[in-house]
Structure 1
Amino acid sequence: MKDMGTSRTPFSIDPLSQSQTEDRIKASELDKPTVDDLSRGMDLKHPLISEKTSDMISVATLSLTPTYVYVSPSHKSLLGYDAKDLLGKCPLELIHPDDFKQLQPLLAHYVDLRERQCWPRPEKPVTEKLLYRLKDKFGKWRYLETTGDLLDDNLILFVSRDVTEKRKVEEELRDIRDKLIMKLQERHEDLVKVNELLQTEIAVRKRTEASLRQSEERYRTILESIEDGYYEVDLAGNFVFFNDALCSILGYSREELTGLNNRRYMSDETAKAVYKAYNGVFQTGKPNKIFGYELIRKGGKIRIVEVSISLIRNAKGEPEGFRGIARDMTDRRAEMVPSLGRAK
């Protein structure tokens, strides 16, 4: 108990042996008044204490085996003891063994001071504040906060207050605080782990994004370097991505071609044939090619193209569009017609 033996007046315990102290005490026992004498004296001197106080007040003899010579009626309501239960008995018998070990040296110190006639001067009264456990009449340990004052060289006045509930609340609050600190520490550790995972994930994502950008740049470079047109359309046939070669084939700028539907640059008859081919790829998932279908360039000129078709799927595996290569066959077709005529 950390509060045990805290004194308002500093003192140093003389390293006197236990046997020497006991010999001196025994030698002085013959001259002391009896417990009955002291008890009668207390009743005569302090009648108001018995009637008015709510704290527990007691007076005990100053010795290594002190005895009660006075106890206030409040002991009955707080501890269950009548005065007759305690008078003439040693209070140390009721004190918890662990607390007794700390109180005994303090008591022995003052007994030794008296026997060596080194009693504190009257202008410097000795008061001790104590906290200990005392067994009540029902066998339960009660925490008492006690002030002990030396009345004279034979008696000690104790004023005690039951702080059991206060200690219980303090312990509960301490447990709550400790549990809260533990949870906060666990929470902090969890946050540290989550933060480490996030930092790792961010680093991985940055590397992935950098790799993806490099791949996209290579992909775009390849697409822009080929002479054939590359395209991507949604399921409705609207352009969502294409290269410059496709712009050249159709004669539209990038801004004009973005979002342009297939029916805007082909005849109704061609649109029906194209829909049939694309729908077949959609249904089967297998790539296909269309040979010699006509596109209408901006300005009205016809271009003959050979187109490959592949299905585009999203992350869930669901179809979301088509991609392919469009090769302009117009000039080759024109070259093939005279050749065929000469062959005939």
Structure 2
Amino acid sequence: MLSLMERIKIQTIDFSSDEFIRNCMRRALRGDSFYHDEAIRLNKYFSRNKQLLNQHFIAIILVDKYGKVISSTNLNFIDKDMSNSDIFIQGISKSEGKTYIKLHYHSSLDTNCILISTPIISQHNAELLGVIVNVYNLRFLNEITTDRVGMGETGEVYLVNRDKVMLTESRFIEDASLKQKVDTEPIRAFAENNEEIVGIYKDYRGIPVIGASMIIPGYDWVLLAEIDEAEAFAPVRILGIVTLIFGVVVAALVTGAGVIFTISVSKPIKDLKDAVERFADGDLNYPEKIRCKGDIGLLARSFHTIAERLLKEIIERKRAEEMLQHTDIELRQVLSSISDYIWSAEVDKKGTFTYRYYSPVVEKITGRPPEFYVRGPERWLSTLHPEDRTRLENALIRISVGKSALEEEEYRIIKPDGTIRWVRDSIVAKKGENESIHLHGVVSDITGYKRAEESLRKSETGFANAQRIAHLGNWEWDIREDKLYWSDELYRIFGLSPDTFTPTYKVFLSFVHGDDRESVKKSLRESICKGKPYTNNLRIILPNGRIRIIHVQTEIISNQRGKVVKMNGTVQDITEFKRIEDELRALNESLEQRVAERTTELMKVNEELRKEIAERRQTEEALRTNESKYRLLLENLPQKIFYKDKNSVYVSCNQNYAADLSIKSDEIRGKTDYDFYPKTIAEKYRADDKRIMKSGRTEEIEENYIKDGRECIVHTVKTPVKDEKGTVVGILGIFWDKK
């Protein structure tokens, strides 16, 4: 029992030092967002990593220092206020490493529980963060106390606290745990004088038992072992125990035509004028119709050549525009299909910031269209997480003023619906004309990467915490290179720092206790030679001189030829386990000695009881003889005699009175006057009884009495019956017919 209680106390203290739990508590107290899904993740952490450690777990409850439940494996407790509960008040008042234990029926859980609370203290600044409450089923204590093998049919073992309340189940009373009051001689001796006793006394049922009490140190409980006196001495009764130059050309041609027109009004010029007009209208083939000689013809032919060249250039430009449009469409499709978005901007020499482009993918990542951002950098800054804004403003200033040509930042943006996304922004700055700076950026959504990174960090933290809690470190030894890798916990076990110490096999052996060193070397050699794992407990001497006991377990890694090239293994500090084991062994030896002493005392008491029983039998025989004489005397008296208790219920009468009632004398027990007389007479008799018992004085009364259907006058004497303390416990009546 003590071993189990110490184990769940140590388990609760270990939970309170879990760094994952401490970090959650610190975030909650700082006022950081503590969303419901995060609470669920914490609950899953408890369910997967903690609750499976003990089959008797009912719930794990995490309470902040103000009494509010932050997380629990039982969702009914979340957000509950426990500030006024005893388990919170007592638990938060304890120092680190101390616990408060309470046995209690919990209505929300509908079961009897063992609640253990201990404070959670920050490892950084010793700040009180809150309390962790582990709830166990009281059943595991009952499993111990209700194992009644060899205790006969009335033997039982049970626990009682100083408030005289039975903690475990009773053999005789159903559902007695935390309900049954036990106010017996050994409980009074424990509560008043902190004493243990052995002897014969009446138990909580009022039945004489032979019992012994033992005080459970550190718990304010007493353990009682009892067996009915009747079974002990008369063994007959046993009872079961988480897109033109065209206008310019046209304008030039029109201007040339105007000049020619001012020189001559001849027909060729008119034809040329018409050609120019058609040319202006887009008919580039018309100049071929002009047929003349001289300067006008030369001009016409030159005009025709220009038209041909211009036509060719226009065709080529249209083809280039079509290709450009097609390329633009493809580029937009590509930019829309990739997961990253692209942006560009320009900063002039005055420092004015102007966005030139945002690719459409920006809306998928940020929840806002490109039009939102092109209005200016203030819009972009407004979407940033408050904690990242200052850092990004500084980066923007550096690259905008030319102090940096390349910036890469990871930051959080807040979407319109409130969700948060992580992005990586890679910006390149190039100098442009007129002292301007051109900025080009590529933004990638890295939310999934960040989640994986956080999950990995939590896993690594959880693994490190698990090693720390279990005092379990791991190592890897490259035998050929003689290189050893130690985990952080392994350094802690050996009292060393990874910053100042490099482990090797030889150095490891230097820490092994002199008496164990040769045995360790021999075992490791055999393990390498035979290719078999090695397991052993050994002692190490820390730099400060302290001796610790460790459990070493290895596995062998061989190459393709079967040669052992590496060894992996774990080292667990089992010093405390060994200490507790030794203490338990000593305690068991002490208990065995005390049991032997109690057994001797019980044997003596047993002998004395046998003598006392013999004397009691003689006394009982004498009493029976005297009772027989008194009964004979009463039966031979002519008067009618009866005896009632303080509620006017018949206890007994003599045969003369029973004959008048037409019953046998032993049939009157438990009956009242209403069973034999009319209501008015019965009420009168009972009123007389009540008056006489209240006054405490004897009275003589003449009253009517029904006999054989006729009314008679009888003389009655009623006198109160008192116990040894002078308390009236009943009334005795004697009456006879008055002639």
TM over 0.5: no
Band the TM-score falls in, shorter-chain normalisation: 0.3 to 0.5
**TM-score, reference length from structure 1:** 0.42
Q: Which has the higher contact order (CA 8 A, sep 6+)?
A: 1
